[in-house]
Amino acid sequence: MSGQPDETVDLVAKYTYGTWRFQKGWKKPPHIVDAEGVYFTDVSGKKFLDFSSQLMCSNLGHKNKAVIDAIVEQARKMPYISPAYAIDIRAKVSEALVKVLPQGLEKIFYSTSGTEANEAALKIVRMYMKPKGAYKVISRYHSYHGSTAAAIACTGDPRRWFSEPTNKIPGVIFAPDCYCYRCPFKQEYPDCGITCAEYVDYMIKNEANVATMIVEPVVGTNGVIVPVKEYLPRLRQITEENGVFLITDEVMSGWGRTGTWFAVDNWGVKPDILTTAKGSTGAYTPLGITATTRKIADYFEENYFAHGHTYEAHPLALSPVVAAINEYKRLNLMENAKKMGAYLGKRLNELKERHPSVGDVRGIGLFWALEIVKNRKTKKPFNTRAEKAAGAPLMVDKVAAEMGKMGVFQSTWISHFVIAPPLIINKEQIDFGVDALDEALKVADAEVEK
């Protein structure tokens, strides 16, 4: 961007909040004027490779014509009607969703974000479990489930800290993560016996009154933590044996991101409730989806379903879903995520061999994290959660800024990069992004402890 005054930037900074940040850092947000395919363009004409699909949501890339046409068609036909009515788009979307969701998820509540999808899931479980006196929720420390009261209370990362105790709902407890690089039990797979899963069984039996566990099958913002093969099936077994519902938060990991429709499909796990959002519309409209089993749905035949809002099943929010599903199929994006994901993983692991600041590389499909460390031997991070919460400068942001100079947008979180490009990406574009990261990592290498 040039040094000339930019009225758009000034007005946005003056009148709107920059989210999850100190507002003093929201004075000059980048002015973006266009986006197409895997790129977006700023006001100066500079083009950026979108190496994180914005907020890990633009799975189909930008300006997909079929999706845009579906939105326009619905806008002309019926932009809004109360959720009390049956309309064609709601019927068609629901039928299409049930066909791609894990088997057994047959009843859907629609909202306008992943946060709201999780809020609805938690509320549904507590309504169902209320007669039994069960209300507790088990989450994990490396998690993000949203920004409203219940969703943020179930979030394990530092964003929860700022809302406590005001928005802290009772009964949320946190379990250890399946985070092999930084195992909370200081064990090593496979000799660990999946202690991180077995500990959940211990928690449920000793807490009592546990209603549900909520997990991201592949952890998103907090590190793209891919569980070992036994973890999720064992967690499903534990929850079933103890009469506890399993909610899988697929807001980020769903919609082809891991090479399957939903991440749980990689392990054959069928949850009681699945929540999703982002990729369901390719981020072209805001939509949240809470899908439940028929068993849960049947409970509300004779019990009051005490939830809803004005924009539930909003026609425009629903309008791109069928087109998006068709585009995932037409473009063969599940296969492309697997193929390009394998190539991306190979390139990232090459960086680990060259850069002493790279501690760990992990991922599945087109969903990867590269974690940097100040000391590879001790795994000492450059920055901590407390430093992130305090607004301290982060090494990952310094590296990402260097990538930005080279025309690559890269999402960061505390000590790792979330590398999750649109599923339409090709090898040449991956090479461009990884080459920029390769060069930018020299900034971190220079600060590595000798």
Q: What is the pLDDT of residues 144-168, one digit of tens each?
A: 999 999 999 999 999 999 988 877 7
Which of 312, 329, 346 is the last residue before a domain boundary?
329
Determine which helix (DSSP H) or strand (DSSP E) holds 246, and give its type and residue range.
strand 245-249
Determine which helix (DSSP H) or strand (DSSP E) holds 375, and give its type and residue range.
strand 367-375
Closest CA to 171 of 224, 222, 133, 227: 133
Q: Does one domain contain both 236 and 336?
A: no
Domain of 290, in residue numbers:
65-329
Pair 393, 413: CB distance under 8 Å = no
Kindly tell me the sign of the dihedral angle through the C-alpha atoms of 397, 402, 405, 410.
negative
Q: Does one domain contain both 205 and 268?
A: yes
For the entire predicted model, the pTM comes to 0.97
Cα 437 to Cα 28, 351, 382, 414, 432: the distances in Å are 24, 9, 17, 17, 9
The answer to which of 108-117, 166-175, 195-204, 210-219 has the lowest mean pLDDT is 166-175
Q: Does one domain contain both 47 and 110?
A: no
Closest CA to 196 of 177, 221, 169: 177
Residue 435, pLDDT above cutoff 70 = yes
Q: Does one domain contain both 271 and 134?
A: yes
State how many domains the chain has.
Answer: 2
Pair 189, 230: CB distance under 8 Å = no
- Give the model's pLDDT for residue 1: 43
In a domain, 20, yes or no: no
Which of 274, 304, 329 is the last residue before a domain boundary?
329
CB atoms within 10 A of CB 8: 12
Residue range 383-430, pLDDT digits in tens: 999 999 999 999 999 999 999 999 999 999 999 999 999 999 999 999
Question: How much is the mean pLDDT over the chain?
Answer: 97
Pair 253, 225: CB distance under 8 Å = no
In a domain, 73, yes or no: yes
CATH code, domain carrying 345? 3.90.1150.10
Cα–Cα distance between 209 and 280 in angstroms, integer? 34
Query: What mean pLDDT is predicted for residues 129-153?
Result: 96
Pair 367, 341: CB distance under 8 Å = yes
Q: Amino acid identity of 218?
A: V
φ/ψ of 329, rounded to 5, equals -75, -50
Q: Does one domain contain both 130 and 150?
A: yes
Pair 282, 64: CB distance under 8 Å = yes
Residue range 294-324, pLDDT digits in tens: 999 999 999 999 999 999 999 999 999 999 9
- Give the model's pLDDT for residue 3: 60
CATH code, domain carrying 105? 3.40.640.10
- Give the model's pLDDT for residue 167: 72
Q: Does one domain contain both 53 and 84?
A: no
